[in-house]
Chains A and B, each alone.
Chain A
Amino acid sequence: MASLIYNRALELWARGNIDFDTDTFKVMLTTSAYAENKDTHDFRDDVTNEVAGAGYTAGGNTATVTVTLDTANDRLDITLGGTTWPASTITARKAVYYKSRGGAATADELIAVNDFGADVISSSGTFTLNASTLRITNT
């Protein structure tokens, strides 16, 4: 599977239900067993096989999001910030970004998933997730 933007996120964004400047976003890690579906997965409760291990808390970490308009290249970059899990023992294949409303998983809208392409494994060390970018190009 490849990295993708959930379709529902685009719709919610268009309808004004997601504000990348002011909302709280989080990123959670999953194993390779999570089969993302950009059509049918819209809320966090659709995400399965979240990782478990020392140094990792269910629901993941807060991620800083920034929006940059690039008129020279006719595109908008939404940067989903990276994060770290120190002293962790984690085997992860994907990072799922979502809007956190601070409550039930059924209320947290999914934004995007980053497929690392292979398992990334930390053992009593620091698991670092680098930032990803959602790039909307105006062709």
Chain B
Amino acid sequence: MTQQTTTVSYKLSEMTVDQLVQVSQGLGHQIDKLRADRVHLGKLIAQKLRDQRVADLKAQIADLEAQVNAEAPGAVIEATAATVS
């Protein structure tokens, strides 16, 4: 989506007090919006980090589940020493 922006230039020194107040208020609104955007971005970052941690843990669990230990039994192997008469 393309966003079109129109830029209008004013000389602050030629503006009336009312106009300056309006500009100041406009800037205030922009600052408020940027702050809100920042909070939103912070939440998105936190969510993505949580998702990544969950994905990492799931991968670790999968690795652990794939590990199979094995134990081979020992044996007693007997030989007899007998007297031959």
Query: B79 and A116: CB pair below 8 A?
Result: no
Determine the distance from Cα of A133 to Cα of B68 in the docked complex, in whole angstroms. Answer: 27
Q: Interface residues of B, CB < 8 Å — how many? A: 18
Contact residues on A (Cβ < 8 Å of other chain), bracket: 20 to 34
Interface assignment of B12: CB less than 8 Å from any CB of chain A: no
Q: Mark B37-67, 1 if CB is under 8 A from A, else 0.
A: 0000000000000000000000000010011
Looking at the assembled complex, report how far the CB atom of A41 sits from the nearest CB atom of chain B, in whole angstroms.
15
Interface assignment of B17: CB less than 8 Å from any CB of chain A: no
Query: B80 and A134: CB pair below 8 A?
Result: no
Known A121-B68, A124-B66; contact A137-B80, beta-carbon cutoff 8 A: yes
Query: A137 and B69: CB pair below 8 A?
Result: no
Known A139-B80, A139-B82; contact A132-B74, beta-carbon cutoff 8 A: yes
Interface assignment of A129: CB less than 8 Å from any CB of chain B: yes
Task: State the B residues within 8 Å of A (CB).
Answer: 63, 66-82
Task: State the A residues within 8 Å of B (CB).
Answer: 3-5, 10, 82, 90, 92, 95, 112, 114-117, 120-139
